[in-house]
Amino acid sequence: MAAIKVYGAAYSTAAARVLATLHEKGLDYELVHVDMITGEHKKESYISRNPFGQVPAFEDGDLKLFESRAITRYISQQYADKGTSLEFSDPKKQAVANLWIEVEAHHFDPNAQKLNYELTVKPVILGLETDHSVVAEYEPKFEKVLDVYEERLSQSRYLGGDSFTLADLHHLPTIQYLLGSSAKKLFESRPRVNAWVDDITSRPSWTKVVELRNQAFKSSKKE
């Protein structure tokens, strides 16, 4: 029995963020499926793991956590000597990486999630029509963020600094969805962003998480 348990579904961007971290670290874990399509994450049995009714929840022995970005930070620090190092040992370098972790959370993700919901979740998963007025509102906001990224990536190979860290990893799940939508062009039209996206999405640990996601979609359709 694995000491590490992730409660969620691999198609959740927040859960995939945690799975990507576990795969980068090469850690064993058990993924306890929470069926978001039937709303299992809003039921009493799950609410005890996360009072906000969101996936993922996480256990490592007697430690129980939720909030994906707190979980990835814990894994990165607790298992610092395993697999890929996802933080800098130099505190000033890590302060800069932390800055870009905040940028992902407060600038990239809110806009990316709005676009993802309209361009992927509604048409592909829920069978609803995309609201193009929402896309028209959020695309320019998202482009402004990507313009900042294009500039940042002229100074360093990765967002957080000269190596791949959580500051990059946190972007993976949402970027992967958007690459399957019309928003792909927003990445492609910015050379440094495009190279960064190619680089981070082709990491072997991430391709494993994408496989888990594809499997989760297939089994949810069979049910």
Site residues for a copy of itself per CB under 8 A: 51-52, 63, 65-67, 69-70, 73-74, 77-78, 91-92, 95-96, 98-99, 101-103, 105-107, 148, 151
Q: Whole-angstrom Cα distance, residue 204 to residue 164?
A: 13
Which of 60/203 has CB closer to a copy of itself? 60
Which of 74/217 has CB closer to a copy of itself? 74
Shortest distance, position 108 Cβ to a copy of itself, whole Å: 11
Residues 222 and 193: beta-carbon distance below 8 Å? no
Question: Comparing C-alpha atoms, which of 89, 83, 86, 84 is closest to residue 74?
Answer: 86
Which of 173/181 has CB closer to a copy of itself? 173
Which of 99/126 has CB closer to a copy of itself? 99
Shortest distance, position 221 Cβ to a copy of itself, whole Å: 30
Shortest distance, position 169 Cβ to a copy of itself, whole Å: 16
Please, how many CA atoms are within 13 Å of residue 88, restricted to the half-sphere of its CB?
19
Please, how many CA atoms are within 13 Å of residue 136, restricted to the half-sphere of its CB?
3
Shortest distance, position 196 Cβ to a copy of itself, whole Å: 17
Q: Whole-angstrom Cα distance, residue 126 to residue 130?
A: 10
Which of 51/127 has CB closer to a copy of itself? 51
Q: Is the dihedral of CA 206, 196, 121, 50 positive or negative?
A: positive
Q: Whole-angstrom Cα distance, residue 107 to residue 171?
A: 11
Shortest distance, position 140 Cβ to a copy of itself, whole Å: 14
Shortest distance, position 70 Cβ to a copy of itself, whole Å: 4
Which of 54/205 has CB closer to a copy of itself? 54
Phi, psi of 6 (to 5 degrees): -115, 125
Residues 172 and 182: beta-carbon distance below 8 Å? no
User: Which DSSP helix (H) or strand (E) runs through 176?
Assistant: helix 172-179
